[in-house]
Amino acid sequence: MTKRGFELPEKDYRYLFENASDAIWVHDMEGNIVYANKASQRLTGYNKGELIGANILKFLSSDQSHDIAHEVRRRLLSGQEIKQPYEQRITRKDGTTGILRMATSLLVSDGEVKGFQHIARDVTEERQLQDNMRFYVREVIRAQEDERRRIARELHDDVSSSLLLLIQRIDAVNSNSRLKLSDGLKEELEGLRCQSVEALESLRRIAQDLRPRILDDLGLIAALEWMADDLIKNHGIEAQVEVLGTEQSLSSEVQMLLFRIAQEALNNIRRHADASMALVTVEFADDKTILAISDNGQGFRLPERIGDMAAVGKLGLAGMRERAQLLGGSLKIHSEPDKGTTVTAQIPAQANLSCAWPKQNEFESLVSDITGSQAKT
């Protein structure tokens, strides 16, 4: 679009094209490159002479890259929408792989499609940093779960057994008639016993929160029901668990991560929602599992980015999202003031902690990115 009376001379367009910091290139219908700017040379490592006339397929690093290019071409030519920008991988002249975030459009002249134009930014380093960060987060979450399990076991096997022994000894002393205890001392012992029982109960509760044995012994649904019961009994919130579809077996790691998401969401309901009802739904579909936790409370205004909350020490929602992403899934939060909150985690049916990482998966998501079929956080 130009302001009337202000036409940019062609040489200026050419200057912009040549010196843009993003790579820009054009290829004809056969895929042969017709134009490529300086940034394209930096991006690929090839000089202009090597780029012009070369076929675009030469730069695509794998079958998946070909599939993506093919799908983009097919969709643009048939007038369908594609999600832009999308990601693509190329092989540079030195053999290394570059990850590009790019946008593609048709080059139309005199009503006829003559080729394709692309604008691309090199995001290789950014993606590597993200991958490293995700790897780090995954390891931190794993270490945290190991640590929780260890502390829960020690609390249970060590401290709780000692407390139980202490209670039994108090009982034995108190009921031993040969000791001829005064009434005052008996009362004192009874008081000590009560305190020990209370300590034992809180210790069991802490150990359960750290690593609920019910999750290991009876699985996710039983553990969710146990948490719902706790909300009803101890916090006066009418909580319910609903299972939709045929229950499928999930690995213990997946169950643990889903359990943690629900646990954090229910903690939030207890602490912030001022709700009278909570509903946990687990839906088993063929290709995905959906966990949704909703309440009828006061809701809240979502920040633009969940990360903004994490920056001020509110880690619950960010932790839920990380856990969903660790399983190759996504997390959505819907909240409106006075209308309640729903947190929905959606994970692929075959999810497991180690499968969230292989590069293969990234490509699958690229293909679905293009077709716009994948929900994102």
Ligand X SMILES: Nc1ncnc2c1ncn2[C@@H]1O[C@H](COP(=O)(O)OP(=O)(O)OP(=O)(O)O)[C@@H](O)[C@H]1O
- Rule CB under 6 A: which residues touch ligand X? 268-269, 271-273, 295, 297-300, 309, 314-317, 341
CA atoms of 232 and 206, how far apart (whole Å): 18
The number of residues making up the chain comes to 377
Taking the complex as a whole, the smallest distance from the CB of residue 314 to Mg ion amounts, in Å, to 7
Exposed e or buried b for every residue in 349-373, given b needs 16+ CB within 10 A?
eebbbeebeeeeebbeebeebbeee
Report what 39 binds from ligand X, Mg ion, none; CB cut-off 5-8 Å by kind.
none
Report what 325 binds from ligand X, Mg ion, none; CB cut-off 5-8 Å by kind.
none
Report what 322 binds from Mg ion, ligand X, none; CB cut-off 5-8 Å by kind.
none
Report what 328 binds from ligand X, Mg ion, none; CB cut-off 5-8 Å by kind.
none
Exposed e or buried b for every residue in 101-135, given b needs 16+ CB within 10 A?
bbebeebeeeeeeebbbbbbbbbbeebeeeeeeee
Output 98 or 316, the one with its CB closest to ligand X: 316
Taking the complex as a whole, the smallest distance from the CB of residue 316 to ligand X amounts, in Å, to 2
Report what 269 binds from ligand X, Mg ion, none; CB cut-off 5-8 Å by kind.
ligand X
Taking the complex as a whole, the smallest distance from the CB of residue 195 to ligand X amounts, in Å, to 29
Size of the site for Mg ion (CB under 5 A): 2
CA atoms of 203 and 159, how far apart (whole Å): 8
Taking the complex as a whole, the smallest distance from the CB of residue 145 to ligand X amounts, in Å, to 17
Output 23 or 293, the one with its CB closest to ligand X: 293
Taking the complex as a whole, the smallest distance from the CB of residue 227 to ligand X amounts, in Å, to 14
Report what 122 binds from ligand X, Mg ion, none; CB cut-off 5-8 Å by kind.
none
Report what 352 binds from Mg ion, ligand X, none; CB cut-off 5-8 Å by kind.
none
End-to-end CA distance of the chain: 34
CA atoms of 220 and 289, how far apart (whole Å): 12
Taking the complex as a whole, the smallest distance from the CB of residue 323 to Mg ion amounts, in Å, to 13
Cα 45 to Cα 50, 97, 299, distances in angstroms: 10, 11, 52
Taking the complex as a whole, the smallest distance from the CB of residue 310 to Mg ion amounts, in Å, to 11
What token pair was written down for 239?
């909580």
Cα 325 to Cα 100, 188, 251, distances in angstroms: 22, 54, 16
Taking the complex as a whole, the smallest distance from the CB of residue 228 to ligand X amounts, in Å, to 15
Q: What number of other Cβ atoms are within 10 A of residue 77's Cβ?
A: 12
Residue 316 interacting with Mg ion (CB under 5 A): yes
Q: What number of other Cβ atoms are within 10 A of residue 276's Cβ?
A: 11
Q: Cα 92 from chain centroid?
A: 31
Q: Which amino acid makes up residue 180?
A: K
Q: Report the residue closest to ligand X, judged by CB.
A: 316
Options 65, 196, 268, 294; binder of Mg ion; rule CB under 5 A:
268
Output 1 or 312, the one with its CB closest to ligand X: 312
Output 227 or 269, the one with its CB closest to ligand X: 269
Report what 98 binds from Mg ion, ligand X, none; CB cut-off 5-8 Å by kind.
none
Q: Cα 324 from chain centroid?
A: 4
Taking the complex as a whole, the smallest distance from the CB of residue 265 to ligand X amounts, in Å, to 7
Output 29 or 206, the one with its CB closest to Mg ion: 206
Cα–Cα nearest to 160, from 210, 218, 227: 210
Report what 58 binds from ligand X, Mg ion, none; CB cut-off 5-8 Å by kind.
none
CA atoms of 3 and 15, how far apart (whole Å): 20
Interface of this chain with Mg ion, residues 101 to 160, rule: CB under 5 A = none
Where does this chain bind Mg ion (CB under 5 A)? 268, 316
